């Protein structure tokens, strides 16, 4: 089998059967995959790992996705929204500690007042940081006008995870209604690109009913849509969701974790110069999960700057790590983890996607 894997890893372009074989690789072959991914990363994006200070602004959500702990239908969930001053304080910490960028993330919703509040927050962060902090938003599907308002206020990256790229599988994990429409999700990705954002997406790995072939298609989806940055990680169940009833159909957690590492490595080889996040969900399964992701191709890490009093209310899945760490503890911990993984931290740098820069040389 190793000769087969070696042959695939020598190819210039990977196709679906190649990706299926790589994702199915056993322990020995997996080492070859990981070595190749690391070599590609060092050659194309270097050893630097860039920070995105994560601010979980609110867990209010209009959606009812079957896998998510903060879904609108979860009546056990305590809801919150951070104040503007709390968000600005977190952003100031990121700026003063030279994180380079922040991510404002929340449940998906819209509305006139909400859109204006985000617009104001983005503008105030830009003003407070003298334009030095990069801003990524992860706030779901919106209109083109809303995306443009937030872009004009100062946001320049946007993460909108497709979660599962197979349209036939989409209704398995989402209600079938106007609020959860696969084509609307695709349209939002198109609008983000049209407005001028660096566009990010991502998927869950190891969902019930999901095959290795589906995961290979997920990787090809990122390539087909020319995605600039990807955040993906293992699916971790949450007891207060409809998907929990399928927990007995899931791969063991460590298998989901190892599959996630293979997804990161394959994506690094497939799309050599994009940004790939070492997601928190990796660490939820393996205490060294984020370091391992960095070692196989990831180059983005997200220290959590959400005020600690809100952390336990932003649980998309169970066993989320570091909910009791304050920003300073999180920073020290991640510094050590990145150095242990052989990386160096790009302090004070936006760490924009080289893939985006190559496509838009005049925009960055």
Domain residues for 323? 2-359
Q: By the 8 A CB rule, do 325 and 333 touch?
A: yes
Hey, which residues does 163 pair with through a beta bridge?
Answer: 203
Output the pLDDT for position 170.
Answer: 97
Tens digit of each residue's pLDDT (9 = 90 or more) over 227-236: 999 999 999 9
Q: How far apart are CA 261 and CA 322, in angstroms?
A: 21
Q: How far apart are CA 16 and CA 22, in angstroms?
A: 10
Q: Is residue 364 part of a domain?
A: no
Is residue 287 exposed (0-12), middle (13-18) or buried (19+ Cβ within 10 Å)? exposed
Q: How far apart are CA 363 and CA 35, in angstroms?
A: 33
Q: Is residue 129 part of a domain?
A: yes
Cβ-proximal residues to 318 (8 Å cutoff; 6+ apart), any chain: 69, 236, 237, 238, 239, 284
Q: Could you identify the residue written with the tokens 């299926």?
A: 20
Tens digit of each residue's pLDDT (9 = 90 or more) over 102-113: 999 999 999 999
CATH of the domain at 210: 3.20.20.70
Q: How far apart are CA 237 and CA 220, in angstroms?
A: 25
Q: Is residue 36 part of a domain?
A: yes
Q: Is residue 181 part of a domain?
A: yes
Q: Could you identify the residue written with the tokens 């700026």?
A: 95
- The pair of three-digit structure tokens given for residue 10, joined into one six-digit string: 């020598």
Output the pLDDT for position 317.
Answer: 59
Helices vs. strands in the chain: H and E counts, helices first: 15, 12
Cα pseudo-dihedral 117, 122, 124, 129, rounded to 10: 160
Q: How far apart are CA 334 and CA 280, in angstroms?
A: 11
Output the pLDDT for position 220.
Answer: 98
Output the pLDDT for position 361.
Answer: 81
Q: Could you identify the residue written with the tokens 């700057």?
A: 305
For the beta sheet containing 344-345, the strands, ordered from the edge strand earlier in sequence to the opposite edge, are 300-301, 48-51, 344-345
Q: How far apart are CA 296 and CA 273, in angstroms?
A: 14
Angle at 95 between CA 107 and CA 277, to 5 degrees: 50
Q: Is residue 306 part of a domain?
A: yes
Residue burial 69-102, b: 16+ Cβ < 10 Å; e: rest? bbbbebeebeebbbeeebbbbbbebbbebebbbb
Output the pLDDT for position 343.
Answer: 83
Q: How far apart are CA 92 and CA 99, in angstroms?
A: 10
Q: Is residue 273 part of a domain?
A: yes
Residue ranges of the chain with per-residue pLDDT less than 70: 1, 317-327, 330, 362-364
> How many folded domains does the chain comprise?
1
Cα pseudo-dihedral 313, 325, 106, 139, rounded to 10: -160
Output the pLDDT for position 69.
Answer: 93
């Amino acid at each position: 089998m190793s000769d087969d894997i070696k042959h695939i890893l020598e190819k210039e372009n990977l196709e679906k059967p190649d990706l299926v074989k790589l994702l199915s690789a056993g322990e020995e072959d997996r080492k070859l995959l990981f070595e190749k991914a690391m070599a590609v990363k060092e050659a194309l994006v270097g050893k630097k790992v860039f920070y995105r200070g994560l601010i979980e602004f609110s867990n209010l959500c209009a959606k009812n996705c079957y896998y998510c702990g903060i879904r609108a239908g979860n009546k056990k969930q305590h809801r919150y929204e951070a104040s503007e001053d709390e968000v600005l304080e977190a952003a100031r910490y990121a700026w003063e500690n030279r994180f380079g960028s922040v991510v404002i993330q929340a449940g998906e919703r819209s509305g006139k007042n909400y859109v204006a509040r985000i617009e104001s927050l983005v503008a105030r962060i830009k003003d407070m940081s003298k334009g030095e902090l990069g801003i990524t938003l992860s706030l779901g599907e919106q209109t083109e006008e809303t995306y443009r308002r937030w872009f004009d206020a100062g946001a320049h990256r946007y993460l909108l995870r497709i979660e599962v790229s197979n349209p036939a599988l989409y209704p398995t994990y989402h209600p079938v209604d106007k609020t959860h429409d696969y084509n609307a999700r695709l349209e939002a990705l198109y609008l983000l690109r049209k407005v001028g954002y660096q566009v990010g997406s991502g998927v869950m790995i190891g969902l019930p009913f999901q095959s290795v072939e589906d995961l290979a298609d997920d990787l090809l989806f990122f390539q087909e849509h020319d995605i600039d940055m990807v955040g993906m990680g293992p699916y971790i169940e949450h007891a207060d969701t409809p998907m929990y009833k399928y927990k007995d159909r899931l791969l063991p957690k460590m298998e989901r974790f190892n599959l996630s590492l293979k997804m990161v490595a394959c994506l690094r080889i497939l799309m050599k110069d994009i940004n790939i996040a070492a997601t928190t969900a990796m660490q939820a399964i393996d205490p060294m999960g984020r370091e391992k992701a960095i070692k196989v191709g990831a180059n983005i890490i997200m220290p959590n700057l959400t005020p600690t009093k809100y952390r336990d209310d932003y649980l998309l899945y169970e066993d989320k790590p570091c909910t009791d760490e304050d920003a300073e503890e999180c920073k020290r911990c991640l510094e050590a983890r990145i150095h242990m993984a052989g990386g160096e931290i790009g302090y004070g740098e936006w760490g924009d996607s080289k893939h985006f820069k190559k496509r838009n040389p005049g925009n960055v």
